[in-house]
Structure 1
Amino acid sequence: MYQIFSDHFANHNPGRVILAASLAISAASVTLTANAQDSRLPDMGKLTATGGVSQVEGAGGGGLTPWALITGYGTRDSYGANVHYTQANTQDYRLKTFGAAFGIADQVEFSIAQQEFTGSLAPLNKLNLKQDIFGVKVKLAGDAVYDQAGWMPQIAAGLQYKRDANIGGLGALGVTSVKQLGAKDDHGIDFYVSATKIYLAQSLLVNGTIRMTKANQMGLLGFGGDKKDQYQAQLEGSLAYLINRKLVVGAEYRMKPRNLGVDNEKDFSDVFVAYFPTKNFSVTAAYVQLGDITVFNPTKQRGWYLSMQAGF
C-alpha cells in the first residue's frame, strides 16, 4: 500500500491534481444550476450541513476531526464532491490546507489534500513544511440522520496516508530531514473509526473518533520518534448545535501522541461557527488552541481558523 501511494505522489503534483479537481467541480456546479432536471447530475438530496465541512486533513467532518458522515450532498443513489481551502494562524505559525473530496452513494469517500506549515519567529521564521495526504472513508453501519428512533450512530472507518513532501528553513540548525529531529519515518498511515449521531429534535450532532496513529503534529514532523514508535489510540470528539438550517456552532477536541523529544506535543481544541448559505458553499471560522510547537518555541499557540468549501 505504501508503494502504491508513494508512486502516485511521485508521479503527480498534488497541487495540479487538486486544481484539476477544483475546476471539474466548479464546472459541474455550473452545469447543475443550468440543468437541474438532468437525472445524471447529483441529486443533492441530503439535508444541509449533513455532509460536514472539510477536516484539516481533507476528510469530511469537523475542522479537527473526521465524522462518520460521507462528504457531499449525494444520497445513496447519487454522488457529491467539494474543494476546500483552510488557513489557521497562531502567534508564530501558519497552516494552510487545500484539497478535494468525492463521496459515492453516501457510502465511500475519497480525499486528497496538501498541508503547508510555516513559521514567523526565529529560529523557525523560515520554517516550511509540506505534507501530502490521501484519504479513504467507508460507511460501515447506521444512519446518522434517518434513524432517529434508534440509538445506533452512523459508523465509518477510514485511513489517511501521509507523506512529508518538503522540510525547509531549518538548514541553520543543520536539519534537512524530519528523521534528524528524531522521527523514524517521513511517511505513514493513520487509521480511524468514527461514530456520529444527529438528534434532529434537539438540533444536536455528537461525534467520537478513535485514531490509531504514529504521526507527529499530524505528520508534519514525521512518524514515530525517539520516545515512542508504535501505534497509539488517540480520542477525538465533536459537539455541534444547529442554531438553524444554515448556522452551526460547536467545539472539538483532539488528543495527540508525544513521540519526539524535541516536541512535547499538546492536544488540539477549537470552538467554531459554520455558515451554510447554500448547499454549494460553506464557510467555517474557529478559535483554535494548538499547544506547543517544538522545544525551539515553547509558547502555547492560539489563534484563528478559517475554512471555505465549495461543491455539491
Structure 2
Amino acid sequence: MKLTQISRCIGLALVGATLTVALPAFAQDSLKPDMGKLLATGGVSQLEGAGGGGLTPWALITGYGTRDSYGANAHYTQVKTQDYQLKTYGAAVGIADTVEFSIAKQEFTGSLAPLNLLNLQQDIFGVKVRVAGEAVYDQTGWMPQVAVGAMYKRDSRIGGLGALGVTNVKQLGAKDDQGTDYYASATKIYLAQSLLVNGTVRLTKANQMGLLGFGGDQKDKYQAQLEGSIAYLLNRQWVVGAEYRMKPRNLGVDKEKDYYDAFVAYFPTKNVSITAAYATLGDITIFNPKNQRGWYLSLQTGF
C-alpha cells in the first residue's frame, strides 16, 4: 500500500472515531458547557491550533467540558524574532473530553531585506481523539492519557518574493503546497508533584510547520519527529515550563533547526489564559542565516 493510501486510511479512521464518540454525547438533551475540569487542564492554544503547549500538542482535550459536556476557545498568538513575525489565530472545540476540532490561520512576515516584504499564510484544520488513559483523575497508575491527531495544512499565500522570481513554495524546492501531519501524544499530570509531562511523536513532511511547503529537494518522505513539554504548577493560576520540537530538513534553501522555548502561563479564570515565552526558532532561510530568537505572547479565551 502506498504512503498516500495509508495517510488517507489514518485520516478516515480518525474521522470514524470522532463520529463514534461525538454523536452519543450530543444525543443527550441536557448537554451544556459545565466547565467541570480543573483549572489549566485544557492547556493553551498551540501554534497550529490544537490544545496543548505553545509548540506542541498535548493529549489533553481543549476546553473545560467534562465527559458529559463540551468546551471551546479562541486564541490569538504573536511570535516576534529579530527579523520575522508570526501571527496565528483560530478556534477549537472539545467534545465530551474526548474529541477536539480546531482551525487556525498563520501569517508569517519578514522585516529584513531581501525578505522585508515576505508574507506567507497558511490554513490549518485539526482533529484530535483521546484513545486511552486519564491524565488528571488516574493518580494511582502509570498510564498517561493518550491521543492521536491529524492536521491538514494548505499554503494560502506566498507573497513578497516576486523580486526573487518566487511565487510558489515549489520554486523553493518544496514538493507540494499542502499536506497533513499525523501525531500521537501522551500526557501525564502528577498532582502531588504539581507536574505535567508530555511527549509527542509527529509524522510530517512540513517545512517550517508547512509555511514553506511540504517535502523538498533534500527529502520527500514522512519522518518521525519527537516533541516534548514539561510544566510545573507554581500554584492554581501560574504555570512555568519548557518545550522542545524536532524539525525535518527537507529543503536546500532552509537549514531548518529544532524549536524550543521557556514559558510562563497565567490562568486568572477558566475563561482566560495568557502565555508568554522566550523562543528559539533557528535559521529560517539561507537568505538570512541567523539564529532567530524572540518573544512569544498568546491570549486564549473560552470555556
* The two structures share one fold, judged by TM-score above 0.5: yes
Q: Determine if the alignment matches structure 1 residue 231 to structure 2 residue 222.
A: yes
Q: Determine if the alignment matches structure 1 residue 132 to structure 2 residue 123.
A: yes
Q: Deviations over 1:139-166 (max 9, x none)?
A: 0000000010000000000000000000
Distance, in Å, in 1 between the alignment partners of 2:294 and 2:226 is 23
Distance, in Å, in 1 between the alignment partners of 2:284 and 2:246 is 15
User: For 2:74, which of 80, 83, 99 is the aligned residue?
Assistant: 83
User: For 2:164, which of 169, 173, 184 is the aligned residue?
Assistant: 173
Matches within 5 A, 1:28-39: none
Q: CA deviation at 1:41?
A: 2.9
Q: Deviations over 1:236-266 (max 9, x none)?
A: 0000000000000000000000000000000
Which 5+ residue runs of structure 1 have no aligned equivalent? 3-38
Which residue does the alignment assign to 1:304? 295
Which residue does the alignment assign to 2:13? none
Distance, in Å, in 2 between the alignment partners of 1:222 and 1:288 is 22
Distance, in Å, in 2 between the alignment partners of 1:231 and 1:40 is 40
User: For 2:51, which of 47, 52, 60 is the aligned residue?
Assistant: 60
Distance, in Å, in 2 between the alignment partners of 1:56 and 1:244 is 25
User: For 1:218, which of 209, 212, 215 is the aligned residue?
Assistant: 209
Which residue does the alignment assign to 1:7? none
Distance, in Å, in 1 between the alignment partners of 2:31 and 2:195 is 33
**Aligned partner letter, 1:251:** A
User: For 1:123, which of 107, 114, 127 is the aligned residue?
Assistant: 114
Which residue does the alignment assign to 1:11? none
Distance, in Å, in 2 between the alignment partners of 1:148 and 1:297 is 48
Aligned residues: 276
Moved over 2 A (4+): none
> What percent identity do the matched residue pairs reach?
81
Distance, in Å, in 2 between the alignment partners of 1:121 and 1:279 is 40
Which 5+ residue runs of structure 2 have no aligned equivalent? 5-29
Q: CA deviation at 1:125?
A: 0.2
Q: Determine if the alignment matches structure 1 residue 99 to structure 2 residue 57.
A: no
Q: CA deviation at 1:219?
A: 0.0
| Local SS of the residue matching 2:217 | coil
Q: Determine if the alignment matches structure 1 residue 71 to structure 2 residue 62.
A: yes
**Aligned partner letter, 2:280:** Q
Which residue does the alignment assign to 2:21? none
Which residue does the alignment assign to 1:282? 273
Matches within 5 A, 1:154-193: 154-193=145-184
- Taking only aligned residues, the RMSD between alpha carbons, in angstroms, comes to 1.1
Q: Deviations over 1:108-150 (max 9, x none)?
A: 0000000000000000000000000000000000000001000
Query: Given the two structures, how large is their TM-score scaled by the length of structure 1?
Result: 0.88
**Aligned partner letter, 2:129:** V
Distance, in Å, in 2 between the alignment partners of 1:289 and 1:247 is 22
Query: Given the two structures, how large is their TM-score scaled by the length of structure 2?
Result: 0.90
